[in-house]
Structure 1
Amino acid sequence: MNTNALVIGKFYPPHAGHRHLIETAAAGAGHVYVLVQGSRFETLTAAQRADWLREEFDGANVTIVPVLNDCPEDYASDEIWAAQVENMRWALKAHGVKKIDAVYTSESYGDRLAQAFDAVHVPVDPARETHHISGTMCREDLSGNWCQLVPAARRGLAVRVIVVGAESTGTTTLSEDLRAHYRQQFPAIADVPEYGRYYTYELLEALQGTHADATVEDLVWTATDFGIIANRQTELEQAAAEAAPLVIADTDALATTLWERYYLGDGSYGSYGAQTHLPRRDVYLLTDHNGVDFEDDGWREGEHRRPEMTDWFKETLTDEGHSWILVTGSPERRLATATAVIDAMLNQQNTFTSAAWQNRTVLTVAA
């Protein structure tokens, strides 16, 4: 077994082929150093890509090192090659690595790179038969190759739209309309329902097991209940991000903190721990109570408090620096407002910039 192994790449973005390369190196070496080379010309930073790989290899014998590298790519130039190698060598030295024993690559330059480090070259699936995927393919068709990305990259790249609002203001209607609108484009788009409602059903069913005539008004809420709801809400959202490039969530952990405040008062903080793990948000859609009739489905009790609750959302979303849009008008008008901004975000999500000299990886089609 080799002591120190080297893997380099742009990982733009990290995909299943990259994971296979690193896993192979980790199985054949005492420790693997992965240099994630990113430039100012690329949309995703080296730090972002490194974070996703760290999640993927957490606890393994792998060190992920983000490297800023704006040097041109020119495999025919000895001078450019020397500049590239020195960039790698000093990135390793900064992490206390003075000797590399093996270089693992799937690229044609592998022999030359290994020679530069006086190491052996271990080719890993150069024909890409195990995973017929490349970063170029992912960038050119992100949606079509979504499941090829490592899970952390999917969670990081997914466009997240969170629909929130007071009781009976159309949040569920808008969430369902949006998912129906985008399901043809993203067949795997997942439902992210309001978990608190299902949790309420479970609590009431348990209570009725001992008190058959119990109603929702008889439930006694605790801070622990809201902590469970908030954490489960985030889990549902994360699973949806792994399934498709677009997440439409009917509420989230942040909203849960406001509902906890609503039911238990300002001194209860059971759901606030989930705030430290709140995923990145793209936009909150806040459904307005004005012009929406209150529908009492037997589980609601706050018609008179809808204006106050709407203001709580406005205040909290503003104070915490989130992008939010108040959606008003008919269901059709609300849907039009939402899709306009979501379409723009999806277009931005699918835009990957690169330096003029960056090579495209074109894989041959298997016979």
Structure 2
Amino acid sequence: MRFGTGVVIGKFLPPHRGHRLLIETAIGASEQVTVIVCGKPSDPIPAELRGVWLQEIHPTARVMVIDDRYDENDSQVWAENTMQWLGRAPDAVFTSESYGDRYAGFMGSVHVNVDQRRERVPISGTAVRSDPYANWEYLEPPVRGWFAKRVCVLGAESTGTTTLACDLARAFQTEWVEEYGREYSVTKMASGEAWRTDEFPVIAREQTRREDAAARRANRVLICDTNAFATALWHRRYVGGTNSELDSIAQQVRCDLYLLTGDEIPFVQDGLRDGEHIRHQMHGWFVEALDRQSVPWRLVQGSQAERLRQGRIQISSLFTDSSWMPGAAFPGTAWRL
């Protein structure tokens, strides 16, 4: 049966694969679908953001965000408000809930029940909120980007940040974001020009953009080889002082853990590095800056294998409240720290 207008209503807190099934069913059976997102100021994820996610996932649907100020058990009130929001009664209501018949009935609409027993997609918003990492497979990419833990490996020149970031990403079978500043430096060195303060916000914004994109593809944790916070210290190194625009970007950085690589290993010249004389001093700058901010940080030292072991331990501690543990990323193998 084909309907003219269909409506899907819910909290979508957060959107998951069950919601995708529900909305795609409505889109497939209706000429026009309106998705109503109900939100409260106390919601852990803003309703406006959930609406943006749903619009991205379902670009042909009309997404509407409303204030959830009504008794959730009063189907008549919800029906009356729905007709007011839409300007008419919808031809069909698509739900996976027991209230669907009453809600649709008060509007004279057809109720289409979609997978109420959660047999096709065994997930619920409650389960996701309780443990998003154990239910990762049911999350949409923008939702994964929201929940993914972000770990930044940072340090002075030639202290093994890139090696550790790559090793950790491989160990956790996840995405990692390479240092954009290094890529930028290749072109910079070829030009022979001195560093300018206005270049560093450009680097920080691009680094952050790449992080946000990679977080959507991450397997629960995203490994970053530096971030905008670290870029502010590189500005101090090459230009001196601070840059207010750069500091503003750095203050908005999302990070759950910093891993600072020690400067006890030999300096290796790769053709781009020029800071052996200042490496130990810059390591001290990192320590001072990390102590001033609120994100947990740990110093990792030793051999490549020892640093990886230390990093694994610290990252695993981010998931102690989840039934999923990093060992789950290694089917058929034992997890050893």
Name the CA shift for 1:19/1:294 in 2 (closer, same or farther; >3 Å). same
Task: Name the structure 2 match of 1:195.
Answer: 180
Contact conserved, 2:35 with 2:62, CA < 8 A, in 1? Answer: yes
Amino acid in structure 2 at the alignment position of 1:310: H
Task: Name the structure 2 match of 1:63.
Answer: 64
What is the aligned counterpart of 1:251 among 189, 213, 226?
Answer: 226
Task: Name the structure 1 match of 2:37.
Answer: 34
Task: Name the structure 1 match of 2:16.
Answer: 15
2:271 aligned with 1:298, yes or no?
yes
**Aligned positions of 1:76-87 closer than 5 A:** 84-86=72-74
Name the CA shift for 1:141/1:32 in 2 (closer, same or farther; >3 Å). closer
Structure 1's unaligned 5+ residue stretches are 39-44, 70-82, 184-188, 208-217, 352-367
Task: Name the structure 2 match of 1:360.
Answer: none
Q: Deviations over 1:306-348 (max 9, x none)?
A: 2332232233333332211122333333222221121122343
Corresponding residue SS for 2:44: helix
Contact conserved, 1:101 with 1:119, CA < 8 A, in 2? Answer: yes
Name the CA shift for 1:16/1:277 in 2 (closer, same or farther; >3 Å). farther
Q: Deviations over 1:4-49 (max 9, x none)?
A: 956024x3542144246457479736x64322589xxxxxx73316
Task: Name the structure 1 match of 2:102.
Answer: 112
Q: Deviations over 1:280-331 (max 9, x none)?
A: 3110111122x22222222111123223322322333333322111223333
2:155 aligned with 1:151, yes or no?
no
What is the aligned counterpart of 1:123 among 107, 112, 128?
Answer: 112
2:212 aligned with 1:238, yes or no?
yes
Task: Name the structure 1 match of 2:47.
Answer: 50
Q: Deviation of residue 167 (structure 1)?
A: 0.8
Distance 1:63 1:85 in 2: 21
Structure 2's unaligned 5+ residue stretches are 325-337
Distance 1:196 1:295 in 2: 18
Name the CA shift for 1:168/1:198 in 2 (closer, same or farther; >3 Å). same
Task: Name the structure 1 match of 2:196.
Answer: 222
Q: Deviation of residue 124 (structure 1)?
A: 6.5
Name the CA shift for 1:142/1:34 in 2 (closer, same or farther; >3 Å). closer
Q: How many residues align?
A: 307
Name the CA shift for 1:84/1:269 in 2 (closer, same or farther; >3 Å). closer
Q: Deviation of residue 121 (structure 1)?
A: 4.1
TM-score by length of structure 1 reads 0.68
Distance 1:276 1:246 in 2: 21
Corresponding residue SS for 1:271: helix
TM-score by length of structure 2 reads 0.74
Corresponding residue SS for 2:170: helix
Name the CA shift for 1:28/1:277 in 2 (closer, same or farther; >3 Å). farther
What is the aligned counterpart of 1:345 among 305, 309, 318?
Answer: 318
Task: Name the structure 2 match of 1:288.
Answer: 262
Task: Name the structure 1 match of 2:331.
Answer: none
Amino acid in structure 2 at the alignment position of 1:15: H
Name the CA shift for 1:226/1:246 in 2 (closer, same or farther; >3 Å). same
Corresponding residue SS for 1:294: coil
Contact conserved, 1:49 with 1:153, CA < 8 A, in 2? Answer: no
Amino acid in structure 2 at the alignment position of 1:33: I
Q: Identity, % of aligned pairs?
A: 34
Contact conserved, 1:55 with 1:152, CA < 8 A, in 2? Answer: no
Task: Name the structure 1 match of 2:329.
Answer: none
Distance 2:229 2:144 in 1: 22
Higher RCO by CA contacts (8 Å cutoff, separation 6 or greater): 1
Distance 1:46 1:100 in 2: 29
